[in-house]
Structure 1
């Protein structure tokens, strides 16, 4: 699927001597000089590597370009990025991430182009920030090549996600309201969850400030303490102008999810409490046993 979008000179890549004139790659010098315990090898991309399974090629290089030496480590780390791909913040997100987590199996690895990294970062970092996660240092774009042979989308100027069909400006915590996967992803990006009604919503600089009514039913306490619950105020990060239908209907009961970042409580998910919805009831049931990926190990 994605191979048709990749700008590669495969002939040059297959001729190592010619390719090495363009890319100076050393396994032991990438990301701080780490030495690998075993030589690079080609392995099949497993079905449970959800981020990159059926990405357009069947084998990947291991260790990968993020210094993961085992498939178990790759799957654990890559799983945290699946929700970001689902947010559709940029059409090149999966391509960019898989070029690092599951690089194409070639004699000499090919890095993603710097402009692709920058385009994905610019499209997706606002969504990550809405959930309290900064763009990670391991994906700093200036470490990727500008002029060498590299992996890219077919259109270098495709940097604005809103220009592409299907990419929505809806506030990230407010989208896909009654889809089980979205609710579970919001829960996994959250530290706490409760049921309540909204008292008022105010605009505060580039954020939206959400004040809740006193009565709340706790579903997942996390870092939220009893004293915090009494006068709880949460913020929809960078959400002053993006659409959020839930915040326009203050009479409903809502499932509220959030995280504490610095001294603020961020709103990371809001779903109408609707027992008539089969999707909602299934999601609430799954919330108790669902195993979340370790976001803390990745977004730092």
Structure 2
């Protein structure tokens, strides 16, 4: 009975701290030896999740362990690294993307940390990687799923829950760079996943293998050049990666001005975001005002 108490305590804490995780959807398997210190020998401590840790502030519990399970030792480092993942959560590529990420960036405050199960990592990775690749980002090595446990106590989602999220036959999602809300924070987050932003119209769109080639009108006004040089701006051609067949309403209306964002990946400039240039929108005007001075996470964004 004595040996069962830690397991019961963790189960109770997880049920109350993860109110969105139902017992029928998640399993907590086996028990793991005490991990009161991290791999560098530094003692872990509980602290309140700060409001500006946007990735995890509303995840369902109030306190987190530090250092976390990615060995970030300060809250400043956690915020810097976690901020890169907020846009991916907004893309809703998997129903538990936020829970998976926060179990690592801001793990629930228990004496023994609990890692996500390997198959949960694989499920999120397989659902979200196509969207990340559309922006030119691979699944990062720090989240290699082989690192996570299969048999120890871990956070897991039942297969029955995964089946409920399967898209119907013939479902065609909007191309990720085209599926953008007219929201200041969303525009700025996508700017952080880009290297430049310009105002222009689209001249022509062509399919090229699995991509779409986006040819711009000659008049191109820089909003934020970043790494893009003025001589490159004149001959700029963008590619919508893996976007040959997914819908993009913006690319079908070539008469409008757009805020177009992009970055250099491999040997191409890829389209990372496209918003209608709409000065009547308060959110759009706010984003334009902040775009040059906005401080992006120092860690390279994942989306």
TM range (shorter): 0.7 to 0.9
Alignment deviations for residues 190-230 of structure 1 (CA, whole Å, 9 cap, x no partner): 11111111111111111111011111111111121222222
Residue of structure 2 equivalent to 1:15: none
Does 1:5 find its partner at 2:54?
no
Q: Identify the match of residue 240 of structure 1 among 240, 244, 248.
A: 244
Question: 1:156-235 maps to which residues of 2 (within 5 A)?
Answer: 158=162, 163=167, 169-235=173-239
Note the aligned Cα RMSD (angstroms): 2.6
Alignment deviations for residues 20-70 of structure 1 (CA, whole Å, 9 cap, x no partner): 3xx6969555xxxxx24x311222212221111131222111111000111
Question: 1:78-227 maps to which residues of 2 (within 5 A)?
Answer: 78-155=82-159, 158=162, 163=167, 169-227=173-231
Residue of structure 2 equivalent to 1:255: 259
Q: Offset of 1:268 from its aligned partner?
A: 0.6
What SS does structure 1 have at the residue aligned with 2:157? coil
Q: Which runs of 5+ in 2 are unaligned?
A: 1-16
Alignment deviations for residues 112-163 of structure 1 (CA, whole Å, 9 cap, x no partner): 0111111111111111111121110000011112233211235565178553
Q: Offset of 1:2 from its aligned partner?
A: 3.5
Task: State which drifts further: 179-188 or 147-156.
Answer: 147-156
Q: Offset of 1:4 from its aligned partner?
A: 3.9
What SS does structure 2 have at the residue aligned with 1:49? coil
**Separation in 2, partners of 1:201, 1:249:** 10
Q: Which runs of 5+ in 1 are unaligned?
A: 13-18, 30-34
Q: Closer, same or farther in 2 for the Cα pair 1:159/1:133, shift >3 Å? A: farther
Aligned residues of 1:49 and 1:78 also touching (Cα < 8 A): yes
Aligned residues of 2:36 and 2:43 also touching (Cα < 8 A): no
Q: Closer, same or farther in 2 for the Cα pair 1:86/1:55, shift >3 Å? A: same
Aligned residues of 1:119 and 1:159 also touching (Cα < 8 A): no
Residue of structure 2 equivalent to 1:45: 49
Aligned residues of 1:43 and 1:59 also touching (Cα < 8 A): yes
Aligned residues of 1:51 and 1:79 also touching (Cα < 8 A): yes
**Separation in 2, partners of 1:299, 1:137:** 12
Q: How many residues align?
A: 282
**Separation in 1, partners of 2:164, 2:206:** 28
Residue of structure 2 equivalent to 1:72: 76
**Separation in 2, partners of 1:255, 1:112:** 38
**Separation in 2, partners of 1:261, 1:159:** 34
**Separation in 2, partners of 1:156, 1:41:** 36
**Separation in 1, partners of 2:215, 2:274:** 13
**Separation in 2, partners of 1:26, 1:205:** 52
Q: Closer, same or farther in 2 for the Cα pair 1:240/1:141, shift >3 Å? A: same
**Separation in 2, partners of 1:261, 1:161:** 31
Q: Closer, same or farther in 2 for the Cα pair 1:160/1:89, shift >3 Å? A: farther
Q: Report the TM-score, using the length of structure 2 for normalisation.
A: 0.85
